[in-house]
Chains A and B, each alone.
Chain A
Amino acid sequence: MRIKNAVRYKAPIEMLKPWFILMLAVIVIAGCAKESSEAAPSEAKQITVASSTDSGINRLDAASYEGMMQAYPLIYDSLVEYGEKGEIQPALAESWDISPDGKEYTFHLRKDVQFSDGTPFNAEAVKFSVDRWANKPEHDWLLTSKNLKSVEVIDEFTVKLTFTKHYYMTLAELSYPRPFRIMSPTSVEPAGDPEGKFVKAIGTAAWVQAEYIQDVQTVFTPNSTYWGDKSGIDKLTFKVVPDSQSRVLAAQNGTIDIAGGEVSKIPLESLSLLKNGEKTKLATQKGTASYFLVVNDANKAIADKKVRQAINYAVDKQSIARDLFDGTGSPATGILPTTNAYVSEDNNKGYSYNPGMAKQLLNEAGWKDANGDGTVEKEGENLVFSLVLQTEEYPEWKPLAEAVQDQLSKVGIQVELKVLEQASYYDALWKNKDYDLLIYRTYADAFNPLSFLMALFYKTNEAPAVAFGTEQLSSLIDRAAATLTDEERFKAYNDIFQLMNEEAMSVPLFYPDDLFVVNNRISDVQLGATTFRPIVWEKLRLDEQR
């Protein structure tokens, strides 16, 4: 019997085999990581940035959507850049004039600019880039492309764009990472043909492509002909690290110098490790996006304004920001944080945390907990909402959803969480509306507020709004889009945000900060105004002592 057993014991050991292999792999990987960190110091001043996806530099046509968003501004400049709170700043265009009817934009270009291959930058080059994107169906979501009538070269350094309609977002859209940035006519074959085939990314911006291994890394070196400030470093490497935990480990051991933002999100759980780490520090600034709940008014209960307001009152935004997310953002008030253009403290009041008020509103709407089971009901039916979320892109949405579920349960609203995989999640949001509540995020910086409102809250005769829309809101959005002056725009957006707030068209939850983990040897970290220029790379300096 004993001897027999010895032979038969093989089975459990066999079952453990994968674990042994896994452990071995972990040991080997850990070993590798250590070695490479020791080999890191080198002659050139180089900084390595983690990116979650490949830069796609070999397909980085300025008028395409192929590459990583943050790669475009490294190579290509735009006519104007987007600054804090939507202030438009000069870039390749020194100044610009807008005709009184808002249809003609005349840009006066800088005269001291060259493309990185020596091609002169002038009005003809701008016309080439404009011709490449103008009126193409894939850019129809941007009215700047859709409504463009003509592009004229006035003289060597003056160019005029004429549109069929006035649209105040034109300058902001021109600052987008793509597709409106200016690319060299020599980037395509045959050179200068707007329909030509893209061959190489050549622009006027601070960096040029030096080396590229797909899905491994992309190395940029400073553009020697750049018109702006000279870079403080010799090499900027974007290393592809898709897994967030690996990014944390790599940042800890110094294999990568910078990670974070939208380039490569760092998990909130690891912030305490990185905050005052042996080799790392954090760089943060207030973000322009917010996390919020989309409410589906196809649900009869949610169609009642009082229920929507009750949900808003029931969510403890302070506790979410302070306790759940450890202060890595701010408690939400309105749908957009005040870091955005046209959003102010006054038009962004939101709802305070007031569970008593929430219960009262539910009561007024006819939802009462008569049977004492902790859930309110009306005509014998419990108030139960589904809450849809995804965790691939936003792992922190799961604890967020669980916190919201818990808070709503305290006023008698039962929430069932549905964690969907990314594709089904986006289907639920954009196509089949198969949810009662859904966690989403607003767009960021230059896309706010108009592109974001248009995408989610705009209702037409043909199509309902993606999130929550009323006729009144749509006409207000139309009015905002057609405004000619900043003053009118402020008024229009005041009305929009007040209406959205009063009607409780969404449930704002949290304003996340932009977070970056940075190696201690780097000084002068200046965070950018947009998610596509997250850090002013040229200004980075290395501390010499280390």
Chain B
Amino acid sequence: MSRPEVRIKDLHKSFGDNHVLRGIDLEIAQGEVVCVIGPSGSGKSTLLRCVNLLEEPGAGKVFVGGCEVTDPDVDIDAVRRRIGMVFQQFNLFPHLSVTGNLTLPQRRVLRRGKAESARIAAEHLARVGLSEKADAFPAALSGGQQQRVAIARALAMGPEVMLFDEPTSALDPELVGEVLAVMRMLADEGMTMMVVTHEMTFAREVADRVVFMDGGVIVEEGRPEQVVTAPRHERTRHFLSRLLDPAMAEVEPERPQGAGGDGPSPKRPPDPGLPDR
């Protein structure tokens, strides 16, 4: 492994009484693709959002590219320029055209000129295969196209790391492929990526490492073929079996209060056809 691009040390985070992250240690090397999987409520999205400080951790440290993100005196806007983020709900700016979505951040944040930002925007739109939609508005695009624009918007800022927060969970099933293809291309180009996902095929084929989280801790991590195909922990096995074959899940009888802290009710993986708007 070369020097770590992302380093997370003993990270804790609570929402009120809800202790979401209970001491996370994780390093991501330059050019590495790490997929974070786990049941909903396991803290994986919160962990991702702590990396660019969209969530303020309660304790612990996060370094990105050697710079401490959690330092109270850090210029967080400067750090965030180096971290691209892609959201489940795309979050394109609806009042701007596709090109506007790509150029406005470059111009306002990086102070690039009009011509330069337009050129870079066109370059990245071409990379995600959406050059012909340059003048369209987000509302006119399919979910898959919106997500590809969102990826292009993040890439246009020239990030060192890309964070993906369930990028395909809000998509209709037939649109998932086009987004994963763009992500695979990025991985092949050597982008450092941290991906929270339920796409096991993507994790198995693209990730260098898979991290399984449950109950706010990392339960196990390793090569994807090892974690996904031959998990060592019972919790991982249980999660994967439900994810790969949701129809096989059984109604678990309710247990009396206080028994088994980590026994979540049987939850289906998020239905990809159901954007929670």
Do chains A and B stick together as partners?
no
